[in-house]
Structure 1
Amino acid sequence: MSAIDSSVPSGEYTYLPIERVHIGPGIITRLRDELDRIGSRRLFLVTGQSIAQKTDLIARVEHAAGTKLAGVFSEIKQHAPMSGIRRATTAIRESKADSLVSLGGGSPIDSTKIIVKELSEDFQRPAIPHIAVPTTLSAAEFSHIAGMTDEKLNRKTGFRDLRMVPRLIFLDPELTIPTPGWLWASSGVRSLDHAAEAVYSPNHQPYVDTLALKAIHLLFQNLKNSTENPADLMSRLNCQLAAWMSFAGVVSVGTGLSHSIGRVIGATWNIPHGITSCLTLSEVMRMEAKRNPERLALIARAEGKNTEGVPTDEAALDAADGVADLVRRLGLSKRLRDYGISKG
């Protein structure tokens, strides 16, 4: 066997077992058809208090399902505390639900993944179908990872298992309109974090590069406008597509230091992961610019910067500056003290 030529890209790509993704305004109306197709008659919805109390999204999902929900658990909190997941699991068992829909951001979606794992006794029994309806840009619906918080230890933990990925996903920009602007914007920065760290990953590869760089381009083109004009459904959908693309590489090329630091900050100070990416990404990119200037230069071009004739080292730093500037233009902060984190 001949030796592998290190100058030619090599690697592997793992596809996640997502069965179908529905895309577009009003696409949630196809929910009933999907429930009929999978033979579900008792749909249970998992979400958080904000969606339950401040929006009509639960009613809209129930209407789209064409049947009364078997139950609703709306007490999932930020960073998915284990106590809430346990209560939700109990409620679902008692309801005799035969499918689950997670509605919201990363916490309801991750919680539902873990609930599926628990109900199937760690997949020793057939898994209950999970349908994800995201309202943020966290991309948790495209992830095989589910995070939760151990409240006693105040520590983020979780699971990685390809079988936890939702079976069906609905990317409906109409359902994202009630999402608070700061949450939409910061979760978009989280998707940017996924994409950027895929590009400068030591395991980077051409397929993932293509999707990650397109995600970065779409976010720089659409995130600010979609935040300021949530009724611009094309802009909202472009961001949803970017979130999808941003996560294409995580299972195959991994994440980096920005994610690692963010997990600690999020669980310790109860800060959303979108905000942790605002705090960490540009700073980590400055460090990576010294180690991987060619990869960071690719990100600069995806951001829309003209790098023709610009030295690679300078273009690499421009990429980090671009992220910091985007965070600023979104009205978000990258200072720890603005989120109640002191030096002490």
Structure 2
Amino acid sequence: CDATKAACLALANGVKVAEDIDKLRVGQIVTTATLPYVSIPTTLSAGEYTAYAGITDERIPRKEVLWDMSIAPNVVILDAAMTEATPSRLFFGTGIRAVDHAVETWCSINVTPLTEATSLHALRILPRALARAKSKPEDLTNRLNCLIGAWLSVQGVSTGVDLGASHGIGHVLGGTAGMPHGETSCVMLPHVLRFNESVNSKRQAALAEAMGDANITAADQIQTLVSDLDLPGRLRDCDVPRELLPTIAEESMHDMWIPTNPRSISGPADVLPLLEAAW
């Protein structure tokens, strides 16, 4: 969906070569996209509900974000049968990305009452639906519940609620280290939650309860879910070389969602220990 969003914006602004993408960056004045389209999601990353488009600038390389209200789909159709052919690792990896949307918007520095409701309900749905879809992949009810949970999880993002370091670092892991979109959340979200716990422990306790067990931290529950879904839990499992970690820490500071992390991140020296723990 992000490729279609970027293509619609590029078409409206006469972008014909990669270098002209610079015209579309956030902060530039762009011509509104007018090409209508329908989205039928086959994964759980929920990009179809937002006006953001993630792209990779291969000159750096770094994953960056384009934004314009005109690039969201005109219609989204949820059809669980369309997810049956999605590779398991991709489907469930993006499911953890949806969990990440819910977690980081619930913990956001500018969370809204509406987002609190949708994010928390998403976390009541997603862990159970993902586990059931894993054990019974042919059951379309479980897959539909995953799609509904993903939709709920991203409502905060679609209305301007800021995310945090799991997404910020994840963008760089995707662009610089080539990690798949969802798997960055599998690895980084538990570590970011533990890093932030000193400033939002009460909010994290609500997450833990919504996920099913108030006596186990949200970070630990997410880490267990990642393992149960046969997804990678460490950077080394995703073939990220350890010597690349300082570069990733440096590049992360350019992401829009590092400054909005609940616990202040002042520089690469704060990011590197997170990456080391995740490696």
Q: TM-score, normalised by structure 1?
A: 0.64
Work out the CA distance in 2 between the residues paired with 1:279 and 1:189.
10
The answer as to whether partners of 1:116 and 1:130 remain within 8 angstroms in 2 is no
Post-superposition, which runs of at least 4 consecutive aligned residues in structure 1 deviate over 3 A?
122-126
Q: Percent identity?
A: 38
Name the structure 1 match of 2:229. 330
Structure 1 residues 117 and 343, CA gap change in structure 2 (3 angstroms): same
Picking from 142, 160, 165, the partner of 2:49 is 142
The AA in structure 1 aligned to 2:232 is S
Name the structure 2 match of 1:116. 8
Work out the CA distance in 2 between the residues paired with 1:325 and 1:196.
16
Tell which has more relative contact order, 1 or 2 (C-alpha 8 A, sep 6+).
2
Unpaired segments of 5 or more residues in structure 1?
A: 1-108, 308-314
Name the structure 1 match of 2:162. 254
Tell me how far 1:126 sits from its aligned partner.
6.1
CA-based RMSD: 1.5
Name the structure 1 match of 2:19. none
Tell me how far 1:217 sits from its aligned partner.
1.2
Q: TM-score, normalised by structure 2?
A: 0.78
Picking from 210, 227, 239, the partner of 1:302 is 210
Question: Residues 1-344 of structure 1: matches in 2 within 5 Å?
Answer: 109-121=1-13, 124=31, 127-250=34-157, 251-306=159-214, 318-344=217-243
Tell me how far 1:153 sits from its aligned partner.
2.2
Q: Which has the higher strand share?
A: 1
The answer as to whether partners of 1:181 and 1:228 remain within 8 angstroms in 2 is no
Q: Over residues 192-243 of structure 1, what are the superposed CA-to-partner deviations in whole Å (9 max), with x where a residue is unaligned?
A: 0000001111112221111101111111111022133222111000000010
Q: Which has the higher helix share?
A: 2
Work out the CA distance in 2 between the residues paired with 1:126 and 1:244.
23
Instruction: Give the secondary structure class of the aligned counterpart of 1:171.
Output: coil
The answer as to whether partners of 1:300 and 1:322 remain within 8 angstroms in 2 is yes
Aligned residues: 227
Between 321-330 and 248-257, report the one with greater CA deviation. Answer: 248-257
Work out the CA distance in 1 between the residues paired with 2:8 and 2:132.
36
The answer as to whether partners of 2:208 and 2:221 remain within 8 angstroms in 1 is yes
Structure 1 residues 125 and 219, CA gap change in structure 2 (3 angstroms): closer
Larger radius of gyration: 1
Work out the CA distance in 2 between the residues paired with 1:125 and 1:297.
42
Work out the CA distance in 2 between the residues paired with 1:281 and 1:125.
34
Unpaired segments of 5 or more residues in structure 2?
A: 14-23, 25-29, 244-279
The AA in structure 2 aligned to 1:235 is N
Name the structure 2 match of 1:32. none
Tell me how far 1:173 sits from its aligned partner.
0.3
